[in-house]
Amino acid sequence: MQAVILAAGESSRFWPLNQRHKSLLKIMGRPLIFYTIESLKKAGIKDIIIVQGPKKDIEQELKSYDLGIDIKYVIQEEPKGMGNAVMEAQELISEPFFTLHAHKVDVGDYIKPMIEKFKESKAELMFLGIKTDQPWLYGMLQLEGDKAKGLIEKPEKGKEPSNIKVAGIYLLPTKFFEYYKKVPEHQYAFEDALDLYMKENEARVTIVEKEPSSFKYLWHLFEVTKLLMNSLIQKQEIHPSAKILKNVTIEGNVYIGKNTKVFEGAV
């Protein structure tokens, strides 16, 4: 299987830190997209395509890291939405592929059950879903058991088809591109193409209890940092360039990064 990582948006909600794509914000010395790639690799996905903007800032940053795999890059010249970004990768896709945003640092935990259901069922399209009590804010699935029959983006209150929203990780067949070409290009063309596909083909949903990492607004940085630190820091890790002054107390698992200064009396 392949994976398409979407990293070409303008990150406008991250002003004033949106000079670069938000997935390049660093936690423990590495950009968020690095952790997303590592999570995909651990789940067995090593054929990865990254859709980036014309600045090529993602590609330039990732050259600094030994990822152990060859990543293919394509460019989305203008931010025309998720569907348009996926279409930019079409020529490089030859098999079922996961589609996700670059900040899904824990994606591997979620694609494993999706792959299991994909193998068990005849469905070629798989959604990750989770319950919500605010369906009017999200893309909501119309369901018959675990079969996905339709998708409504931000339904009116009282008209929601279920309480299961899409959770931002998709397993798509190559013929999805045929359906995308049938819908008008606009902000929610990706969702329209998914809905059209489900009207004519079988699709399933894997419902989970815990939502994947979200990075829509700047304050989500605290949640993602906590998630990564809890999962990755198993010891004290202090970079050689860090300066630790006198009378400093360091206990437990901790990460102190490059060029960090810890002043006297810190605990």
Listed by start position, the domains of the chain span: 2-230, 235-262
Q: What is the pLDDT of residue 206?
A: 96
Query: What percent of the chain stands above pLDDT 70?
Result: 93
Residue 22, pLDDT score: 85
* The predicted structure's pLDDT at residue 265: 77
Q: How confident is the model at residue 28 (pLDDT cuts 50, 70, 90)?
A: confident
Average pLDDT over residues 75-103: 95
What does the pLDDT read at residue 234? Answer: 67
Q: Is residue 39 scored above 90 in pLDDT?
A: yes
Mean of per-residue pLDDT scores for the chain = 89
What band does 192 get if pLDDT is binned at 50, 70 and 90? very high
The full 3-state SS of the chain, as one line of letters, equals CEEEEEECCCCHHHCCCCCCCHHHCEECCEEHHHHHHHHHHHCCCCEEEEEECCCCHHHHHHCCCCCCCCCEEEECCCCCCHHHHHHHCHHHCCCCEEEEECCCCCHHHHHHHHHHHHHHCCCCEEEEEEECCCHHHCEEEEEECCEEEEEEECCCCCCCCCCEEEEEEEEECCCHHHHHCCCCCCCCHHHHHHHHHHHHCCEEEEECCCCCCCCCCCCHHHHHHHHHHHHHCCCEEECCCCEECCCCCCCCCEEECCCCEECCCCC
Nearest to 166 by CA among 219, 203, 218: 203
Contact 105/7 with Cβ under 8 angstroms? no
Residue 2, φ and ψ in degrees, nearest 5:
-115, 170
Position 34 scores a pLDDT of 96
Look up residue 184 and give its two tokens: 């008008």
pLDDT surpasses 70 at 9: yes
Which of 147, 176, 186, 183 is closest to 164 using CA atoms? 147
Q: The domain 2-230: what is its CATH number?
A: 3.90.550.10
Q: How many other β-carbons are positioned within 10 Å of the β-carbon of residue 62? A: 19
pTM above 0.75, yes or no: yes
Confidence of residue 75 (pLDDT cuts 50, 70, 90): very high
Span 78-98, average pLDDT? 95
- Six token digits for residue 18: 């949106």
